[in-house]
A and B are shown apart, each in its own frame.
Chain A
Amino acid sequence: DAEITQSPRHKIIETGRQVTLACHQTWNHNNMFWYRQDLGHGLRLIHYSYGVHDTNKGEVSDGYSVSRSNTEDLPLTLESAASSQTSVYFCASSGREPQHFGDGTRLSIL
């Protein structure tokens, strides 16, 4: 069965460090998305991509970057982690159907 895999599932890092969250999908979807989910804010879009080498900023993109070198992967990088970026991060993909989500990465920045 097709799926979206996120890794790691949990991560604790210090402020100022760089960290990359992985997202791999086997749906063969063109569209991929990164969200963060925080209490009181719901899902907020960070970055998205409509295909290889395409990336776009979402509503909360400051401090994050993505790159898309193939169809299956959209890694999310926090260049210099801040405590405000402590959150649960979800990757999603869509094609000719609505988004499917991974099970998230719980990131704590101390």
Chain B
Amino acid sequence: QKEVEQDPGPLSVPEGAIVSLNCTYSNSAFQYFMWYRQYSRKGPELLMYTYSSGNKEDGRFTAQVDKSSKYISLFIRDSQPSDSATYLCAMSEYNFNKFYFGSGTKLNVKP
């Protein structure tokens, strides 16, 4: 069993929709939870990260962590065609020395 599971999609939504991207994990020691966005032929770009449980909001993006369920989510409000990319979740334990990545979910936002 992989330590981090992520549905690969693809996920296709109309412009303006609310998008929900999710990951589950098995290691209860994870403390930091990251979301990366990767455009085609580019490197992953850090979108946001949270420590422990709770929510974090940045513009149209909201990250949620539920440690009791070992489940994290990224919500994108008012999705735009420019949000079309692959989204990777990643996790780390007590520092940023080692990272565990999901396989990525490909998102397509249709105009």
Contact = CB atoms under 8 A, between A and B. Distances in A.
A75 interface: no
B97 interface: yes
Interface residues of B, number: 21
B43 interface: yes
Interface in B27-53: 32, 34, 36, 41-46, 49
A106 B41 CA distance: 9
Nearest to B91: A98
Which of A31, A42, A97 gathers the greatest number of chain B CB atoms within 10 Å?
A42
25 contacts: A4-B43, A33-B99, A42-B101, A42-B102, A43-B44, A43-B88, A48-B98, A90-B43, A90-B44, A94-B96, A94-B97, A94-B99, A96-B96, A97-B49, A97-B96, A98-B34, A98-B49, A98-B92, A98-B96, A98-B99, A99-B46, A101-B43, A101-B44, A102-B43, A104-B43
Interface of A: 4, 31, 33, 41-43, 48, 50, 90, 92, 94-104, 106
A-B interface, 4 closest residue pairs, ranked by CB to CB distance from nearest? A101-B43, A42-B103, A94-B96, A103-B43
